[in-house]
Amino acid sequence: METVLSGIRSTGHLHLGNYFGALRNYIKMQDEYNCFFFIADLHSLTTHPHPDDFHSGVKTILTEYLASGLDPEKSAIFVQSDVPEIVELYVLLNMIAYKGELERTAAFKEKVRKNPENVNAGLLTYPVLMAADILVHRANKVPVGKDQEQHLEMARLLARRFNNLYGVELFPEPQAFNFGSDLVKVPGLDGSGKMGKSEGNGIYLFDDEKTIHKKVMKAVTDAGPVEQNSKMAEPVENLFTLLKIVSAPETVVQFKEAFNNCTIRYGDLKKQLATDICRHTLPIREKIEEIYKDEAFLQRVIKRGTEKARESASATLYEAKKAVGFRSF
Q: CB within 8 A of 135, min separation 6: which ones?
A: 89, 93, 155, 158, 159, 162, 171, 174, 316
Cβ closest to ligand TRP, residue 133 vs residue 207: 133
Find the shortest distance in angstroms from Cβ 107 to ligand TRP: 8
Under a CB-based contact definition with an 8 Å cutoff, are residues 235 and 224 in contact?
no
* Cβ(12)–Cβ(146) below 8 Å: no
Q: Is 125 in the site for ligand TRP (CB under 6 A)?
A: no
Decide whether 43 or 213 has the Cβ nearer to ligand TRP: 43
When binding is defined by CB under 6 A, the residue of 77, 86, 142, 243 that contacts ligand TRP is 142
Q: In the stretch 27-46, what mask flags binding to ligand TRP with x, by CB under 6 A?
A: -------------x--x---
User: C-beta of 67: minimal distance to ligand TRP in Å?
Assistant: 20
Contacting residue, 89, 130, 195, 242, with ligand TRP by CB under 6 A: 130
Contact segment (CB under 6 A) with ligand TRP among 44-52, 86-94, 141-149, 249-257 equals 141-149
Residue 5 near ligand TRP by CB under 6 A: yes
* b/e sequence 242-256, b meaning 16+ C-beta within 10 Å: bbebbbeeebbebbe
Q: Is 58 in the site for ligand TRP (CB under 6 A)?
A: no
- Spatial CB neighbours of 293, under 8 Å, sequence gap ≥ 6: none
Measured between alpha carbons, how far is 273 from 250 in angstroms, rounded to an integer? 13
The answer to whether residues 155 and 313 touch, using CB atoms and an 8 Å cutoff, is no
Which residues of the shown chain bind ligand TRP in the complex (CB under 6 A)? Answer: 5-7, 9, 40, 43, 130, 133-134, 142, 144, 148, 151
